[in-house]
Structure 1
Amino acid sequence: MQAIILAAGLGRRLGEYTKNNTKCMVEVNGVKLIDRMLGQLARLDLRRVVIVVGYKGSELKAHIGNRYDGRLNIEYVENPIYNKTNNIYSLSLAKEQLQQDDTLLIESDLIFSDRMLPMILNDPHPNLALVAKYESWMDGTMVRIDKERNIVNFVPKKAFRFEDVDDYYKTVNIYKFSREFSCRQYVPFLDAYCKALGNNEYYEQVLRVITLLDNSNLKALPVGNEKWYEIDDVQDLDIAETLFAEDEEMMRRYNYRYGGHWRFPKMLDFCYLVNPYFPPEQLTEEMKANFDTLMREYPSGMYVNSLLAGKYFGIRQQFVVVGNGAAELIKSLMEQSAGLTGVVFPTFEEYPHRLSKDDIVAFYPDNNDLSYTADDLMRFFEGSGIKSLLLINPDNPSGNFIPADDVLRLSRWCAGQGIRLVVDESFVDFSDDFEHNTLLRNSTLEDNPRLVVIKSISKSYGVPGLRLGIMASADEQLISRVKKDVSIWNINSFAEFYMQIFNKYQADYTQACHKFISERARFMKRLQTVSYMRVLPSQANYFCCEVLGKFTSHELAKKLLAQFNIMIKDCNTKTFLEGKNFVRISVRDTADNDRLVDALLALDKQ
């Protein structure tokens, strides 16, 4: 067995990274791609490694030098016209070597787990392509396979159809060819293809022809959950460095993204705080049916969008302002705050981060459950001189909840003290009896003119990608100031259309919330079977859990990510929870929740 590595390309899309080096000399977490790949090949029983070089080939050869002497027999093939050809020509230059032995064919811009080369070598089929089920980040050649793992078609870019993605597998660009296949099928077709269509093509096109015209016996081997990535541009490089980072660095890289985790579809994200049962498929299909119009048309301004938000929640247009997520409104509101602000810790820190530390009067619960009541807050803040009081209800990350009647009692107390009460009820629809717990009613707002209600539509409605939030108050001057503070087109057409059609799906939403509440109760019982965790009661879509004895919260988060590709929130970075070993775990659907508990129980046995 031998290996042939194609490493002649320019790698233009990597910009500065390939200005003076070929792509395989790019570093991922401090290790060059070629060094990682040759190290993996050195663990195999190979007769030789043939590297086809072109752009910056002399630099590549100088870097490799003699470092693999005694472990790998490395030979080079030169592609002198690398800037005028594609990889079909690079492979054709190595066709003599290709016909001399069974071959692993590998593209040099790949990073992959150590298990993948043994996987393909140990499979009994002589002619094999490693493939991965299609995911949204993938680009390039796709294949279709039958039930016996035969590749029945190669799908080039120009033939790609999004409606067929459920049937697609992406070629990982690691192949195993028998000497017989190379001699009798691949190389003859390679010569004919180059003569007919030229050298500016891709070698997979030859495989496509063979598959269509001949019984090639070329099989596919799905890689499952094995990690790999193809690095074509700077974003690919960033994602690869995250996927292949070690424990501590991996956590850091995931956390600084603040979202965008859809780029890592195999990672199960329990930091993600949304409703797992909404929106329904029909709503999604209605959005898709209007995609072309929404993408091509400007959204409306604040007048129409505040009208839609009023319709959405059943409140007056002049009482509501729409934000590009609640975060935009939080920023505007907090920057307009004057005087001291009362803040309950631990909490959602987007609010206090907008304030000077000198302007915060902090309340800390004095119990192990991080719980507090309206009476606790009134006693603590009496005579404190605060001008505003912030209440996240249910709170994040504790899940503490103050019933609506008590919040209104707190609101009346605040009014008597000349205090503005800001209530963020982004998670209130996850609470028991949620239909009666919202403050978003005209009568409630009118009776409490110093009350400001903020709600993220991302959380309970399951549409965080739309970036929608609202702020409501009968203080029309405040609402007007915030409307003037944000951009006239602060939300896009997709978000606007969603607000327009939501009311048709109100019954589905109510049903989804009831289904969620039932699953939360079931999930809590399962979490309580984990011996090293104490689960706090919650009325939100997450649980705050104290990690006891066996691990620290940081160690637990790190082990779940490294061993199970599951991400939870380590709360050690939150004010008042530093060093107290709390984690926050979101509530997802039954299958995901059980997968997490199974992982936690497995760690208990280690």
Structure 2
Amino acid sequence: MQAIILAAGMGKRLKELTSENTKCMVKVNGTSLIERMLSQLDMKNLTKIIIVIGYQGQNLKEFVLSLKLKTKIVFIENEYYYKTNNIYSLFLAKDFLITENTLLFESDLIFEDSLIDKLIENDYPNLVLTAKYESWMDGTVLTMDKENNITSFLGKKDFDFSNFKNYYKTVNIYKFSRKFSTTHYVPFLEAYCQALGNNEYYEQVLKVISLLDKPEIKALPLKNELWYEIDDIQDLDIAETIFTGSESEKLKKYQNRYGGYWRYPKLIDFCYLVNPYYPTPRLLTELKTNFDKLIREYPSGLNINNLLISKYFGIKKDFICIGNGAAEIIKSLMSITNHKVGIITPTFEEYPNRLKKDNVVNFVPKNKNYSYNTNDLINFFENENISTLILINPDNPSGNYIKKDNVIDLIKWANLKKIRIILDESFIDFIDSEEQGSLLENNILEKYQNLIIIKSISKSFGVPGLRLGFAASGNIKLIEKIKKDVTIWNINSFAEFYLQIFGKYKDDYKKTIEKFKESRNDFSSKLKDIQIIRILPSQANYFLCEVKNFSATKLAEILLSQYNILVKDLSQKKGFHGNQYIRINIKTKDENNLLVDALLDIQSKIN
């Protein structure tokens, strides 16, 4: 068996990275694509590797020869690389196709070794390697039946997003038998080039062959094997994260992305905090139905969107300011908080990160559950010269909750001390208490001018992609300062439309909160049986877990690298008493069970 690699393209979308080198010379984590691919193929006892070169071909040729591979290397030059496409590159190698069984590769791929083994070890002689279509993929897709017979090849013009669940992306790795190349592929390749020219894609030939009564080629779908196609700098960035050499470096790269994990196939995100059961399919359908209009229309200005948010929560419009996520509100509020600020640590670090270190006064609970109450806070801050006290209730990451009446006692104390209370209620809807824990009421805001409430819509309503949050206070001058600080169009049309319609789904929302609480209780009982962690009591949509026997970072690395599960490693977070902690988001019961199974598996290997 031989291999053919098509490497003549210019890779224009990689811009300066390919100004003096062909695309396959681009490095992923310090190793070029072509070096990695050739090293993988060099171990498979192939008779030869044919490389079709073009743009910067001499540089590529010299580099490949410097690798001193044991497999014979043959170069074919595509002199017209600048005006032809990969169909012509393959046409130039057609004489090799009909002499031997062939593995065919595009040169802009990075993949696990197991992909090659999967092709070679499969008994069927002619295969198209495929992967279930994901939103990040681009290029040729196909459909197939239950026996993996290809039923159609679809180009970009034929792609129907309403049917994407039935699509498979070609990985651009193929296996052709000598017989198939002789009787099918090469004759059709020659005819296609003659009829339609050389500025086409070789997949078009397979599309024609798939229409025959006996096309003689099947799809071979991947399962969990890793691969990525690199066309631009964003692809390169993602590939460097997926194919990072060490477990520790991989975890760092994932954590430094701060989201966008939908780009990563099969990753289960237990790191970022949302309601797993909301929004409902009905609400999403209404959003989808209005997509065309919303993407073409400007959103309303700040005043109108303040009216929408005030209507839903029943708060006076003058008391409220909407934000592009709670993060925008926090940034604005911290920028006008110039004196010393009391913070309960460990905490959501968006607050202290926006302040000068010298202006932060930390209260660290001394017990192993990081729990605290109103008296603890009053006793600690009584003699501290602070102008502001930040209370996240329930707290992040501990999940600690202070009841409503006790929070009011804290506000009263702060009022006498002329201390502003910033109360973050982003997780308040998840509490088990029978009481209505929120202080988001007009009479409370009017009575306590030192109180400002911040709430993220992302957390409990499950729409972090819309970036919605708000601040509310009876201190109208303070709210006006925030309004002047944010932009007039600080939320988009989709977020505005969500605010317009989500009042219709209040009952659905309440049901999902109850469903979530059941999921939390079930998850909690299962996590308590795992000996390598200790979970802390929580009234939020996450658990703070102490890691036993080894470091939190190591546990997070193992979960990511071996189980494709991302949790929040809190090793670098301030305020912990030297012990190791992770934070685990609470998801659906099925997803929670996957994490439980992974932890049990890790535990069994330790024991």
Alignment correspondent of 1:384: 384
Any residues of structure 2 matched to 1:392-471 within 5 Å, and which?
Answer: 392-433=392-433, 436-471=436-471
Q: Secondary structure at the match of 1:129?
A: strand
Alignment correspondent of 2:279: 279
Any residues of structure 2 matched to 1:53-68 within 5 Å, and which?
Answer: 53-65=53-65, 67-68=67-68
Alignment correspondent of 1:374: 374
User: 1:66 deviation in Å?
Assistant: 5.1
User: In the superposition, relative to structure 1, how do residues 361 and 154 fare at CA in structure 2: closer, same or farther (>3 Å)?
Assistant: same
Any residues of structure 2 matched to 1:136-147 within 5 Å, and which?
Answer: 136-147=135-146
User: In the superposition, relative to structure 1, how do residues 146 and 578 fare at CA in structure 2: closer, same or farther (>3 Å)?
Assistant: farther
Contact 1:429 1:435 in 2 (8 A): no
Alignment correspondent of 1:196: 195
Q: Secondary structure at the match of 2:175?
A: strand
Contact 1:569 1:584 in 2 (8 A): yes
Q: Distance in 1 between matches of 2:438 and 2:9?
A: 59
Residues 412-449 of structure 1 deviation map (CA, whole Å, 9 limit, x = unaligned)? 11111111111001011111137601111112212222
AA in 2 matched with 1:431: I
Any residues of structure 2 matched to 1:92-241 within 5 Å, and which?
Answer: 92-241=91-240
Residues 471-519 of structure 1 deviation map (CA, whole Å, 9 limit, x = unaligned)? 0011111111110111011111111110010100000110011110110
Q: Distance in 2 between matches of 1:183 and 1:383?
A: 88
How much identity, in percent, do the aligned residues show? 56
Q: Distance in 1 between matches of 2:195 and 2:228?
A: 33
Q: Secondary structure at the match of 2:211?
A: helix
Q: Secondary structure at the match of 1:166?
A: helix
User: 1:286 deviation in Å?
Assistant: 0.6
Q: Secondary structure at the match of 1:555?
A: helix
AA in 1 matched with 2:580: N
User: 1:533 deviation in Å?
Assistant: 0.5
User: In the superposition, relative to structure 1, how do residues 291 and 89 fare at CA in structure 2: closer, same or farther (>3 Å)?
Assistant: same
Alignment correspondent of 2:83: 84
Q: Distance in 2 between matches of 1:536 and 1:177?
A: 57
Alignment correspondent of 1:604: 603
CA RMSD, 1 decimal: 1.1
Contact 2:152 2:207 in 1 (8 A): yes
TM-score, normalised to structure 1, is 0.98
Contact 1:48 1:72 in 2 (8 A): yes
User: 1:181 deviation in Å?
Assistant: 0.3
Q: Secondary structure at the match of 2:415?
A: helix
Matched, 1:559 2:558: yes
User: 1:338 deviation in Å?
Assistant: 3.3
Q: Distance in 2 between matches of 1:43 and 1:596?
A: 36
Residues 551-577 of structure 1 deviation map (CA, whole Å, 9 limit, x = unaligned)? 210100111111111111111121112
Q: Distance in 1 between matches of 2:589 and 2:101?
A: 47
Q: Distance in 2 between matches of 1:21 and 1:98?
A: 27
Q: Distance in 2 between matches of 1:244 and 1:579?
A: 32
User: 1:32 deviation in Å?
Assistant: 0.7
Gaps in structure 1 of 5+ consecutive residues: none
Alignment correspondent of 1:75: 74
Q: Distance in 2 between matches of 1:417 and 1:66?
A: 74
Per mean C-alpha deviation after superposition, the further-off stretch among 569-578 and 284-293 is: 569-578
Residues 144-170 of structure 1 deviation map (CA, whole Å, 9 limit, x = unaligned)? 010000111110111111111011000
User: 1:68 deviation in Å?
Assistant: 3.4
TM-score, normalised to structure 2, is 0.98
AA in 2 matched with 1:494: F
Residues 199-234 of structure 1 deviation map (CA, whole Å, 9 limit, x = unaligned)? 000000000001013411211111111110000011
Contact 2:320 2:471 in 1 (8 A): yes
Per mean C-alpha deviation after superposition, the further-off stretch among 295-304 and 180-189 is: 295-304
Q: Distance in 1 between matches of 2:97 and 2:385?
A: 81
Q: Distance in 1 between matches of 2:514 and 2:449?
A: 31
AA in 2 matched with 1:493: S
Q: Distance in 1 between matches of 2:435 and 2:252?
A: 39
Contact 1:394 1:402 in 2 (8 A): yes
Residues 79-128 of structure 1 deviation map (CA, whole Å, 9 limit, x = unaligned)? 11000100000000000000000110111000001111001111111110
Q: Distance in 1 between matches of 2:77 and 2:352?
A: 61
Q: Distance in 1 between matches of 2:209 and 2:547?
A: 57
Q: Secondary structure at the match of 2:118?
A: helix
Residues 145-198 of structure 1 deviation map (CA, whole Å, 9 limit, x = unaligned)? 100001111101111111110110000000001110000000010011011100
Q: Distance in 2 between matches of 1:68 and 1:99?
A: 27
Contact 2:130 2:171 in 1 (8 A): yes
Residues 381-416 of structure 1 deviation map (CA, whole Å, 9 limit, x = unaligned)? 112121111001111111111111111111111111
Contact 2:404 2:437 in 1 (8 A): yes
Contact 1:270 1:566 in 2 (8 A): yes
User: 1:580 deviation in Å?
Assistant: 2.1
Contact 2:425 2:455 in 1 (8 A): yes
Matched, 1:594 2:604: no
Any residues of structure 2 matched to 1:471-550 within 5 Å, and which?
Answer: 471-549=471-549
Residues 19-40 of structure 1 deviation map (CA, whole Å, 9 limit, x = unaligned)? 1111111100001111110111
Q: Distance in 2 between matches of 1:290 and 1:544?
A: 39
User: In the superposition, relative to structure 1, how do residues 34 and 529 fare at CA in structure 2: closer, same or farther (>3 Å)?
Assistant: same
Q: Distance in 1 between matches of 2:584 and 2:63?
A: 47
Any residues of structure 2 matched to 1:307-346 within 5 Å, and which?
Answer: 307-346=307-346
Q: Secondary structure at the match of 1:75?
A: strand
Per mean C-alpha deviation after superposition, the further-off stretch among 72-81 and 60-69 is: 60-69
Alignment correspondent of 2:255: 255
AA in 1 matched with 2:175: K
Q: Distance in 1 between matches of 2:383 and 2:406?
A: 20
Per mean C-alpha deviation after superposition, the further-off stretch among 443-452 and 165-174 is: 443-452
Tell me the matched-pair count.
604
Q: Secondary structure at the match of 2:169?
A: strand
Contact 1:572 1:578 in 2 (8 A): no
Any residues of structure 2 matched to 1:296-307 within 5 Å, and which?
Answer: 296-307=296-307
Contact 2:45 2:71 in 1 (8 A): no
Q: Distance in 2 between matches of 1:21 and 1:109?
A: 13
Residues 2-21 of structure 1 deviation map (CA, whole Å, 9 limit, x = unaligned)? 10110010111001111111
AA in 2 matched with 1:478: L
AA in 1 matched with 2:566: M
AA in 2 matched with 1:75: V
